[in-house]
Amino acid sequence: MLIGGRLVEATGGRTYPVLNPATGAEIGSAPDAGPADLEAAIAAARQAFDGSTWPIDVELRVRCLRELHQALVDAGPAMRALTTAEVGAPVFLTTGPQYDVPVQALSWTIDLAEKYSWETDLGEATMMGLRSRRRLRREATGVVAAITPWNFPNQITLAKIGPALAAGNTVVLKPAPDTPWLACELGRLVAERTGLPPGVLNVVTPRDNATAAGLVTDPRVDQISFTGSTATGRAIMAAAAPSLKRVFLELGGKSAAIVLDDADLRSAVGAAAFAVCVHAGQGCALTTRLLVPRESYDQAVEIAAATMAGLPPSDPTDPGTVCGPVISAAQRDRVLGYLGLARAEGGRFAAGGGTDETKDGGFWIRPTVIAGLDNSARVAREEIFGPVLTVIGHDGDDDAVAIANDSEYGLSGSVDGSPERAAAVAARIRTGTIAVNGGLWYHPDAPFGGYKQSGIGREMGLAGFEEYLETKLVAESVPRRRS
C-alpha cells in the first residue's frame, strides 16, 4: 500500500488472497489494511493538504501528474496483463476503457487543469451603499476518499484521482477487495516514478468493508467519491451525513435499449445483445433491458439469442474474447440467483440460463436472453451485473418511453430508429447518458453519471473536474473616489 509516501505492508503483515476470475486460482495476496492503516492514510492526506503547497501550486501538480501519466504509459503492457489477470477483463478492452482510454483521459484532465481559470473577475457592484470588487476563486475541496468497485478499476480509479489531484486535493484511494493489485501498482508507480509529495495520494486495501467505512465517517475527510452499488451508495451517503461531507455517487443502472418500429431490427437488437456480453455484463451503464416493438418480439428474441450463441464465455487473454468470466464465486451465485428468479416469475431462456459446465475453474455465466416477462419482473428492475438481457415488448414510442423511465435508475440507454424520432425519444429519457443510433457517449471530455438513484454528480469532463472544487467569493471594498 502507499501511505504517507512510503510503500508499506498492512500493520501486522496481514494479507488476503487475490484470485484470477478466469481460473479461480490464487495469483498472490494483497495487504489487508486494518483501522490503524486507514488512520495513518487519512492523517497523511490531511497533513499533505494542510501543510504542503500541493493545493495551491498548479505547476507542481501538472508536473507530478504528467510524470504519473508517463509512468502509466510505460507500464502499459504490465498493467494491461494485470487487468486481465485480476479483473478477468477481456484483453481487447484493455486497449480501450479497461486501461488505455482512462490513461489518455488523465492526460486530458492535466491539460484542463493547466489552462483552467482558477479565478474569475465578477467586476464591481454596489450593495447598500458599499462598492466592492468581486473575484470568484475555485479551490480544492480537501481530503477526498475515493472508493472504487472491481468492474472497471483503472477507468474508475483514474476518473476519480486524476481530477481530484489535478484540482489540488489529496486522496485516500480504497479499491474493491476483489481487485486490490491494480491500485497497489498505481501506488507503486506514484512512489517510484513521480515527485508527488508524501501523503498526496495514499492507497489502502482493506478486505473488510467495515474497515473501509471508517473513511466515510472520519471528520478529516472532506469528500467521498464513490462508485458501486446503489445499496452501498445509500449507506455511504447516510454515514457521511453527520459530518456533512460532499458526496459524489456513481451507482447502479438498469438501462433500456429502445428499438423503434422504424429501426433496423437486426442490427439494433444484435448490437444490444452484443453489448451485454462485453466483460460478462459487468458494467453499470450497459443496456440490460431491450425494449422492442411488440409485433417484432419473437423475431427480436431470436436475433438476440443467435447473437449470444456466437459469444460464448471464453478465456479473457484470447484477443477474440468478448465475454470473459464474472469476478467471483459470489457474483456468479448472485447472477444465478437472478436467473432462478426469472424462471420463477414465468420467464424463459432463449439463450444461456446458467453457468458454463465445460469450464474447469473460474466463474462463468453463459450469455442469457430472458423472454416472456414485462417491466414489473425483478430481473427487469434490479441490476444483475452479468451477461443477461431481458427482452420486453412495447406498443409504440410513448409506451417505450414510459417503460424505459419506469425504473428507480437513470444511468444510460440507447434509442434506435429514424433519426428524428429517435432523437425525440432520447430527449424524453431520464438518464445521464443516451446513445442514438449507435452513438458513443464515452470520451474523456464527456460527463458521465446518473439521474434518480443512479447517482449524484458527474465523472469525467469539465463537470467531473469541478466535482472536486469549492467556490470562494472574495469581495474587496473599493474606496470611494473623492469628487
Binding site for ligand ADP (CB under 6 A): 147-149, 174, 176-177, 209, 212-213, 216, 228-229, 232, 235-236
Does 277 qualify as catalytic in the annotation? no
Using the minimum distance from each CB to ligand ADP, give the nearer residue, 106 or 236: 236
Q: Are 146 and 174 in contact (CB under 8 A)?
A: yes
Closest CB 179 distance from ligand ADP, rounded Å: 9
Closest CB 178 distance from ligand ADP, rounded Å: 7
Q: Please, which residues have CB within 8 angstroms of residue 244's CB and are 6 or more apart in sequence?
A: none
Using the minimum distance from each CB to ligand ADP, give the nearer residue, 141 or 232: 232
Closest CB 125 distance from ligand ADP, rounded Å: 44
Does 284 qualify as catalytic in the annotation? yes
Q: What are the strands of the beta sheet with 455-456, ordered from one edge?
A: 6-7, 2-3, 201-203, 170-174, 143-147, 223-227, 246-250, 455-456
The single residue of 184, 284, 383, 466 carrying the catalytic annotation is 284
CA neighbor of 449 nearest in space, from 420, 402, 411, 481: 411
The single residue of 250, 459, 466, 467 carrying the catalytic annotation is 250
Say how far residue 13 (Cα) sits from the centre of its chain: 31
Closest CB 209 distance from ligand ADP, rounded Å: 4
Q: Are 22 and 46 in contact (CB under 8 A)?
A: no
Tell me the CB-side half-sphere exposure of residue 80, using CA atoms within 13 A.
20
Closest CB 232 distance from ligand ADP, rounded Å: 3
Using the minimum distance from each CB to ligand ADP, give the nearer residue, 183 or 422: 183
Cα–Cα distance for residue pair 351/366, rounded to 1 Å: 8
Cα–Cα distance for residue pair 14/421, rounded to 1 Å: 58
**Residue nearest ligand ADP (C-beta atom):** 228
Using the minimum distance from each CB to ligand ADP, give the nearer residue, 235 or 309: 235
Closest CB 329 distance from ligand ADP, rounded Å: 13
Cα–Cα distance for residue pair 151/317, rounded to 1 Å: 16
Using the minimum distance from each CB to ligand ADP, give the nearer residue, 33 or 257: 33
Cα–Cα distance for residue pair 133/126, rounded to 1 Å: 9
Using the minimum distance from each CB to ligand ADP, give the nearer residue, 232 or 307: 232
CA distances, 102 to each of 158, 430, 443 (Å)? 6, 26, 9
Using the minimum distance from each CB to ligand ADP, give the nearer residue, 90 or 149: 149
Using the minimum distance from each CB to ligand ADP, give the nearer residue, 247 or 401: 247
Grid cell locating 16 = 488476503
Q: Indicate the residue type of 450.
A: G
| Alpha-carbon torsion angle 94, 97, 284, 448, nearest 10 | 170
Closest CB 423 distance from ligand ADP, rounded Å: 33
Closest CB 174 distance from ligand ADP, rounded Å: 6
Q: Active-site residues: which are they?
A: 250, 284
